A and B are shown apart, each in its own frame.
Chain A
């Protein structure tokens, strides 16, 4: 033990930080979910009351549905566009570095700043998008005051932010495919389309699965986009109220930390279900 002390010391920062900011909050969350607590005063043990309140809470189920809808509406276009962009980038040779930087910039831009800009684009009466729509002869759409408008706006923001990031990952995946394989296919008479669908995509499967898993974990935790675009209440009809936004609202706005923790447990279970589905998909992928 003494002999390896320096090594243990070297790896300790991760475990210390994980313990304090990862493990402890997780355990405490589970403990808190069985209590009523306003953040300062005494914690009161209430057994399963919080969970009973959770399963009968229409707003919680609404937030779950909202989250899933926004997740699908954002992830599918993000990954599709990412793949298309990566394929185009891979084929062209000029200015590759420029494009890579340009596509990566959105994912490192401050989310709050982006959301404020998107708020101006999607605003109903004086927004940029509606001005364009009216100019080309379409009617104005109440983006931030109607159920689907809100979801489309939030999804559009996520798509804008993460398409480039996924494109870069796909690009790396594409570059790992040996040129010989592609050349062989071309020599055998495969069209560009066939090369993409029959060779590139199957070989990219592990990379695609990685991006799907990453988007799932990110998508189920959507928070800032909704909070800035439509506010802490999730906007009209609470259509932009995601699970994490609901958790935040209950715990930090209404000081109901016990119930906030219970929502956290609910979120954990949902993520767990999706992780199992993803895991099964990966398993299937590995079987020939």
Chain B
């Protein structure tokens, strides 16, 4: 090849990189976010639909492309914990109400629907799945100590049972879980709709105090999430229960397979809550929003949600799907219990709470200080003062009142 031809080729290659093909409809998702079968059927039903697994660091990738205004997907998944971070830039997404979303509203859980709507009323996320919580517990350990899961209704009941088990097993993995769940049961979080920091108020102090109480009773194993110790402790029964969302069942089966048959699920102490669950959104770069909306609503009908549950354990956001006999199957890992019923009951009672964009950042400060209390022995009052000081600083920094 002579030099001129080489240069011409280089030029062509550069031009190829710069042009962007805008044919068809791209859909970004992480693996395990939507049923493979549903997606496959959708691609034949809606020619031009191209699902793409964007994989790890999903939020960062989506933000990068939105910031660069190029190769932005037409339809994208948004995780429940990330969606509020996009609220300040809600105009990047199509307001689904303009496409007639309200028509579908009665079919979906109200609190879940509200989570996809910004404080100004713009709907940017259409419900995929939910994460209703339950109390996963070890039947064998509970029985040995004469603890009855049915009688655990409140946090106090739960802690009392923990004291009974104490000689033999820890009741909870760590304090963060307690704080997290009490907050998930609350209608108010750390920042309200008026951009006001309310992390020092009574509802937060209540969640904090309950976590500290568990510490003072000594029923926590002080094992931090993600540590290799967790699976071992759940397998041996050294930690006898775990409050988690419906999807945690899959983690439990994968992480503690040897404890099959020993687990059961009961309602969450202190009331229903939700942890996790995702949304589908249509970006403003989508050329055919109507068609995209048609795809989104088809992918998320109760029938497709049943598929998502059977394939991936995605808990439906449509009460119609709960009643499906396909879902209500006994689960051997849980000794033949129909665990869906427990979660379905929880899903109907989750409180509607406003999630501000700053929630994850501020909540992290509380998690860190609770970890300090249980692992390095920081005095709880000092930890509370520190967390308030740090949270206030960040609140001022990001412009909250």
Residues of A whose CB lies within 8 Å of any CB of B are 6, 36, 38-41, 49, 53, 56-59, 119-120, 123-127, 142, 144-147, 231, 233, 235-238, 252-256, 259
Contacts and interface: CB of A to CB of B under 8 A. Distances in A.
A142 B377 CA distance: 13
B66 interface: yes
Contact of B233 (A58, A125, A142, A236): A125
Contact of B398 (A39, A124, A144, A256): A256
12 contacts: A40-B63, A123-B229, A125-B238, A126-B229, A145-B224, A145-B227, A146-B376, A147-B376, A231-B224, A233-B368, A237-B378, A254-B360
Interface string B357-380: 100110010011001100110100
B227 A236 contact: no
A51 B124 CA distance: 35
B232 A125 contact: yes
The CB with the most chain A CB atoms within 10 A, among B88, B92, B227, is that of B227
Given A233-B364, A252-B60, A255-B85, A40 B229 contact: no
A91 B229 CA distance: 44
Given A255-B63, A256-B398, A40 B92 contact: yes
A263 to B, nearest CB: 13
B368 A126 contact: no
Nearest to B371: A236
Contacts of A127: 228-229
Nearest to A124: B229
Contacts of B67: 39-40
A58 B386 CA distance: 11
A237 B376 contact: yes
B361 A254 contact: yes
B56 to A, nearest CB: 11
Contact of B368 (A39, A58, A142, A238): A238
Contact of B372 (A39, A123, A236, A259): A236
B229 to A, nearest CB: 4
A145 B226 contact: no
A273 B371 CA distance: 34
A259 B376 contact: no
Contacts of A256: 361, 398
A49 B396 CA distance: 11
A153 B390 CA distance: 28
Contacts of A259: 397
A54 to B, nearest CB: 11
A145 B368 contact: no
Interface string B384-401: 000000100100011000
Contact of B228 (A59, A119, A236): A119
Nearest to A39: B63
Given A38-B89, A120-B228, 10 more contacts: A6-B3, A40-B89, A59-B390, A119-B228, A123-B228, A231-B224, A236-B224, A236-B375, A237-B371, A256-B398
A40 B376 contact: no
Contact of A40 (B66, B368, B397): B66
Contacts of B222: 145
B375 A145 contact: yes
A142 B375 contact: yes
Most buried by B among A40, A53, A125: A40
B223 interface: yes
Contacts of A142: 375
Interface string B57-86: 100100100110000000000000000011
Contacts of A6: 3
Contacts of A119: 227-228
B228 A41 contact: no
A198 B301 CA distance: 80
Contact of B397 (A39, A53, A58, A123): A53
Contacts of B66: 39-40
Interface string B1-17: 00100000000000000
B125 to A, nearest CB: 16
Contacts of B378: 237
A256 to B, nearest CB: 7
A120 B231 CA distance: 12
Contact of A38 (B88, B360, B390): B88
**Which 6 A/B pairs are nearest by Cβ-Cβ distance?**
A236-B375, A126-B232, A254-B361, A123-B228, A125-B229, A40-B89
A231 B226 contact: yes
A39 B224 CA distance: 30
B190 to A, nearest CB: 13
A145 B238 CA distance: 18
A121 to B, nearest CB: 10
A233 B361 CA distance: 11
Contacts of A235: 224, 371
A57 B365 CA distance: 13
Nearest to A50: B397
Interface in B17-71: 57, 60, 63, 66-67
Contact of A41 (B88, B361, B376, B393): B88
